[in-house]
Amino acid sequence: MKLLPFLAVYLCATCVMADDNIHQQVTLKGKWLVETNDKVMLDPQTSALKLWRGKLLSLSDRSAHESQQKQLHIINPSDAIVAEQSLAMTMSDKIKESCFYPYLADKPDFEALAIDPNNDNVFIIVTEDARDGVQLTAACQKRFQKTGSTQYPSLLVRLEIDENNILSMTHVRPLQFDASYAVGDFANDGIEGLAFGKDNTLYLGLEKDSKNMARIFSLPLSENFWQSDEFAPVVDTEVVLPAFKQGVHPINGMDYLPVDNHPGYIAAAARNDNQLWIIDLAKKKPTKVISMKFLAPVISHDNQCENWELIGNSSLEGVAVANNNIWLINDPWKAHYTENVKCEANRHKYESFSPLLFSLPISKHWFE
């Protein structure tokens, strides 16, 4: 990966130089996600987290174990136990008639999750990288070629749960980026965060663009939004994001923080940095940067280990605002997760790529 150009840093007069300006430093103790068989959750590759009816919902991407894909997992936040019955995705007839059905029916790379603020039976998810999946037919490719980014468009997918607890993909629309945004065409560098703000505005967090910069776009979801299956063009919010002296610093998960008489804030996870960014949607205040350290619990019977061990590689990818707290969940990075092993009692948890759940109190100082 290329380093962030120094010029971009110096031109950003309102940016926080995140290397030197940490607003808050916290250490968070996690809980291993545990399934109802009393074993840690097996390789879910968590790509999203949101509060729903007092529980947390998570979503897995296509690199997860097959038993975890294409479903919403229900998590009890108090003890991190995953419900035995998840919400498995089915397909509506409308989806089956879509250009995108072959890809969605195969192994779509689902990233991010948002819950309709007007109807909590409705969820929005997005696909990130379809280059290795089932491709479009020639006719569909011609129709949807002007994506402004990847050859196969990123897809916004509407899910709805019915009275029988059946979750169905009901509608799909491809996203379109203006060419001037220079989003670029990269593997696994698309939309990784979704959050609803005021006035049914959906915010979309881009992992990084062609200049290795994270971006946040917006998309108004009107009452008639899903009546079309054409491109849905997004708008760059041009919010002020932190700058760094070097390296790549992507957004990998986010949620909305409401504030009275204000457009609100976005809480975004930067997985490469073990940071949470508090982003002002009014674009007046520099982003607050919260630096985090993460501890995993250890249950050892030989007295050779401490009760908690520091995680070197956490890779946050889920953010959920819940009353006075923010819940965070990691997406175990398969190439590096086992490097966290210090106590042998936790080895099988890291080797199972089990995630950890953390919580962080919301501070009023973030908005000052």
Q: What is the pLDDT of residues 294-320, one digit of tens each?
A: 999 998 877 789 999 999 878 999 999
Neighbours of 94 (CB within 10 A): 16
The CATH code for residues 6-29+42-294 is 2.120.10
25-29 mean pLDDT: 96
Task: Copy the structure tokens of residue 188.
Answer: 């696994």
Phi first, then psi: what are they for 50, rounded to 5°? -150, 150
Top pLDDT among 2 and 215 is at 215
Residue pLDDT, tens place only, 243-283: 888 888 899 999 999 999 999 999 999 888 899 999 999 99
Task: Check pLDDT > 70 for residue 335.
Answer: yes
- Residue 6 has a pLDDT of 31
The sign one gets for the Cα dihedral 161, 258, 201, 191 is negative
Top pLDDT among 225 and 7 is at 225
% the chain with pLDDT above 90: 84
Residue spans per domain, the chain: 6-29+42-294
- Residue 218 has a pLDDT of 98
211-219 mean pLDDT: 95
H helix intervals, the chain: 6-11, 93-96, 101-105, 138-143, 347-351
**Predicted confidence band of residue 366 (pLDDT cuts 50, 70, 90):** very high
In whole angstroms, give the CA distance from residue 161 to residue 164: 8
Kindly state the DSSP code that residue 68 receives in the 8-state scheme.
G
Average pLDDT for the chain:
92
- Residue 12 has a pLDDT of 42
In whole angstroms, give the CA distance from residue 201 to residue 196: 6
In whole angstroms, give the CA distance from residue 124 to residue 147: 20
Task: Check pLDDT > 80 for residue 16.
Answer: no
In whole angstroms, give the CA distance from residue 29 to residue 73: 22
Give residue for tokens 């689902």.
Answer: 110
186-207 mean pLDDT: 95
Residue pLDDT, tens place only, 112-128: 999 999 999 999 999 99
Q: What is the pTM of this model?
A: 0.93
**Predicted confidence band of residue 13 (pLDDT cuts 50, 70, 90):** very low
